[in-house]
Amino acid sequence: MDPFFGRFRLISDKKKFEFVSKGGGVVFLLIALFPVAFCHATEQVLQQVAREIREEVLRGNNDAIGKPLPLASHWNEGMSKDGYTPHYQVAMIRKGHHLLPWFNMPRPGQNTGISYYAPLNKVAELKLPITFISTEWEHLLTSDPAYFNLPPDKNPNVVDLNNKILPKISPFGPVKYWRELGRKWTAGPIMEILQELYPDPPLIIFLSNNEAVKLRWTEIERDKRYIAKYGIGRDDNFKRKIMGDAWIERYRALQEGMREGLTNPHWKDKAIFIGYNAFGSSFFARSTNWMDYSLYTPGRFSPWPLAWDGGGPPYYLHNWDRNTDYWVMSPQIRAMNWVFMQKEIYKLNPKYWFEISVWDGHVAGDPSDKRLYYASLGQIYTPDRYSGMVQFGMWLLRPRVVREFRGSTETVTKTGSYFVSIMNAVDNVYSNPILRKFWRKGKLVVNKSHMHPFQAVVPREYQGRDRWFLIDTNLDPPRPWKYETELPVFALPLVMGRSPNREWLIYSFAPKKYIKKVKISIPNYGAVWIDASPSGAYHHLVEKTGKVIAVK
C-alpha cells in the first residue's frame, strides 16, 4: 500500500476495513471485496475515453478550439444495490461512455458507510474528475438545533416582527455561521480519507441539491433584521437587489468554509461549488407574476451565477404541471429563455460551469407519473423519445454536463435504458466529426419571424434579446399558438461560415411519430426537406452544393 493511503487492517470474517488516516482518525469503510467487471473495451479505448473526459472538463468556456464537449452524469447516488453506483459508472466508462463520475457526499460527523473504494481507485488511476452529490448544505442552519436554537440576534434563520424564529433561512442573519457550517461539511474524517485516497483529481465538483427553505423576496418585510436596516415600503427592484446581494455573500461564505475544511491543497485549488437551478427561470415572462419567483433586478437577471461557480437548471417534463414534449408548453420552448441568460452569465462569471438536469417526469408507482399520463393518451414514452427531447436541449444550450435525475430508490434495471440513451447522445458528439465540429463552433440560428410565446412583463433591457430559435416547418399549426398547441416537429439549426460557404447542422425532433419529408425554412437561406424522428435526426446542409445529407 502506498504511504499516502494510511494504514488498512482487515477485520476478520467481515467485509470491512479499519482505516487510520494520516491525521490519526479511525474510520470504518464498508468495502466491496470483489473486482469491478472490466471486460467491455480494450485498455486503449479506456485510456482514450479517460483522456477525452479530462480534456473537456479542463477546457475553458472560451477555449480557442471551441466549446467543451458534453459529459453525461447523474443525480442518483447509487445508495441501493441496483442504483447508479460507482461500480456501475466505472463499468460504463469501460464501455466507452463519456461520464463525469459522481459519488455520495458524506454528511458532517459521518464516519461509516463509504462503499466505493474499488471504483474510486479506478477513477484515481484514470485521473478522472469527480463529483460529490449532496443535499443542500445550508439546510442544517434550520434543521440542526445548534443553529436553530440560537438567540434571535444570532440566529441564521428568519426572525419575524414578533421576535419569533421561523424554520426558514434568512439572507440577513450572521454570515459567520455559514462559513462555520461549510467547514463542517468538508472537515470530517471521511473527507480526509478521500483526499488521501485520491490526492490529485483534475477537478472536484461539490454539487448541492440547492432546495433549502429560504425567505422569498415577496416575504422580505416579515424579516425583522431587514426592516431594522431598510424600513418598509421599498420598491420591488430594491428588495430583489438587496436580497440577491445578501445571498451572494452568504453562499460564498459557505463555500469558502468548505474550501477551508479541506486538508489537501490540491483539492482546495481544484474544487468548485455548483447548485441545482442556480441559474435563471425558464418561466421568464410566462405570466404577469413571474418576477414573484425571480430575483431579477435591472442589470442582473439573477444573483445565482455570482453566488455559485456553476449551476444546472431543470430541463424537465415536470410531473406536477401540464407540460409535454409536443406542446408549446414544453421543455424545448421554455429552455429557449436560457440562451440570453447564458450570454449574460459568461459576462458576469466567465468560468461559470453550466450544465442541465434532465428528467422525463417518471415517478414509479405514483399517480402523477408522466409515463402514465402519456399512456392515458395512448402514447408510449420510450428511451428513444426521451433522448430526442434531451438532444434538442443539448444543441440549444450546449451544456458541459447532461445530468439525469432519478429518485434515490430508482434502479438501473428499471430506468437504466433511459440513461443509456442519454449517454449515447453524448457519445455521438465525440464520435461523429460533423457533430463534434458544430458543437465546438456552430452558431445558433435565430428565427426573427416570430417572438417567443412568453411575453408577459418583459423588462426593457431584455425586449430586444433573441429568444426564438425554432424554425418554421410546413407542418406548423396556424398562429397564434396557445400553450397546449401541438407541434409535430421541433427543428433547430446551427450555422458555420459565411455566405457562400456556409454549412448548417439541422437537428429535428418529431415527438409522436417518424415523419418523412418535412419542409423547413432556414432563415436567410431558404427551404429544404428533411426527415424527423422521435429519437432525433441530424442533417448536414452545405451551401455550395445545396445538398442535405442525413448525419448518422
Q: What is the pLDDT of residues 50-96, one digit of tens each?
A: 999 999 999 999 999 999 999 999 999 888 889 999 999 999 999 99
> Which 3 state secondary structure label does DSSP give 373?
helix
In whole angstroms, give the CA distance from residue 523 to residue 493: 9
Per-residue confidence (pLDDT) for residue 116, from 0 to 100: 76
Task: Give pLDDT tens digits for 111-152.
Answer: 876 677 789 999 999 999 999 999 999 999 999 999 999 999
Beta bridge partners of 312: 276
Cis peptide bond N-terminal to 298, omega within 30: no
Give the mean model confidence (pLDDT) for residues 471-499.
Answer: 98
Q: Is it true that domain 40-133+174-208+248-441 has CATH number 3.20.20?
A: yes
In whole angstroms, give the CA distance from residue 398 to residue 404: 15
| Exposure letters 165-195 (e unless 16+ CB within 10 A, then b) | bbebbbbbbbbebbbbbbbbbbbbbbbbbbb
Instruction: Kindly give, in sequence order, each residue whose CB lies less than 8 Å from that of residue 341, ignoring residues fewer than 6 positions away.
Output: 279, 280, 284, 301, 302
Structure-block grid coordinates of residue 383: 428511451
Percent share of the chain, pLDDT over 70: 92
Structure-block grid coordinates of residue 82: 441496483
Q: What length does the chain have?
A: 552
CB 340 within 8 A of CB 452: no
Asked whether residue 7 carries a pLDDT value surpassing 50, the answer given is no
Nearest Cα to Cα of residue 21 among 114, 95, 84, 88: 114
Per-residue confidence (pLDDT) for residue 113, from 0 to 100: 67
Long-range contacts of 476-479 (CB under 8 A, 24+ apart): 479/450
Per-residue confidence (pLDDT) for residue 110, from 0 to 100: 86
Asked whether residue 31 carries a pLDDT value surpassing 60, the answer given is no
Per-residue confidence (pLDDT) for residue 53, from 0 to 100: 98
Nearest Cα to Cα of residue 255 among 208, 314, 193: 208
Per-residue confidence (pLDDT) for residue 550, from 0 to 100: 98
Give the mean model confidence (pLDDT) for residues 339-361.
Answer: 97
> Which 3 state secondary structure label does DSSP give 140?
helix
Task: Give pLDDT tens digits for 95-114.
Answer: 999 999 999 999 998 887 66
Asked whether residue 12 carries a pLDDT value surpassing 50, the answer given is no
Q: Which ranges constitute the DSSP H helices of 231-287?
A: 236-261, 265-270
Give the mean model confidence (pLDDT) for residues 509-528.
Answer: 98
Structure-block grid coordinates of residue 67: 466549446
In whole angstroms, give the CA distance from residue 86 to residue 82: 11
Instruction: Kindly give, in sequence order, each residue whose CB lies less than 8 Å from that of residue 453, ignoring residues fewer than 6 positions away.
Output: 328, 333, 481, 483
In whole angstroms, give the CA distance from residue 276 to residue 5: 33
Task: Give pLDDT tens digits for 208-266.
Answer: 999 999 999 999 999 999 999 999 999 999 999 999 999 999 999 999 999 999 999 99
Give the mean model confidence (pLDDT) for residues 479-487.
Answer: 97
Q: What is the dihedral of CA 432, 433, 437, 440, to 10 degrees?
A: 50
Per-residue confidence (pLDDT) for residue 43, from 0 to 100: 86
Give the mean model confidence (pLDDT) for residues 1-21.
Answer: 34
Whole-model pTM? Answer: 0.93
Nearest Cα to Cα of residue 2 among 186, 128, 125, 127: 125
Give the mean model confidence (pLDDT) for residues 526-550.
Answer: 98
At residue 138, what is the residue type?
E
Structure-block grid coordinates of residue 111: 464516519
Q: How far is CA 431 from the centre of its chain?
A: 23
Q: Count, in order, helices (H) and strands (E) of the chain.
A: 17, 21
| Residue 507 Cα distances to 109, 393, 447, 539, angstroms | 49, 11, 15, 7
Q: How far is CA 473 from the centre of its chain?
A: 31
Q: Taking phi first (over 0 means left), then psi (-120 to 50 degrees means alpha), and beta for anything else, what does residue 503 get?
A: beta
Query: What are the phi and psi torsion angles at 134 (to 5°)?
Result: -145, 160
Asked whether residue 1 carries a pLDDT value surpassing 80, the answer given is no
Q: What is the mean pLDDT of the chain?
A: 92
Give the mean model confidence (pLDDT) for residues 186-195.
Answer: 93
| Exposure letters 48-87 (e unless 16+ CB within 10 A, then b) | ebbeebbebbebebeeeebbbbbbbbbbbbbeeeebbbbb
In whole angstroms, give the CA distance from residue 330 to residue 378: 19
In whole angstroms, give the CA distance from residue 409 to residue 82: 9
- CATH 3.20.20 placement within the chain: 40-133+174-208+248-441
CB 90 within 8 A of CB 122: yes
Structure-block grid coordinates of residue 219: 416575504
Per-residue confidence (pLDDT) for residue 117, from 0 to 100: 79
Q: What is the CA radius of gyration of the chain?
A: 25
In whole angstroms, give the CA distance from residue 427 to residue 441: 18
CB 549 within 8 A of CB 540: yes
Give the mean model confidence (pLDDT) for residues 375-390.
Answer: 97
Q: Look up cell 471521511; give the residue.
A: 190
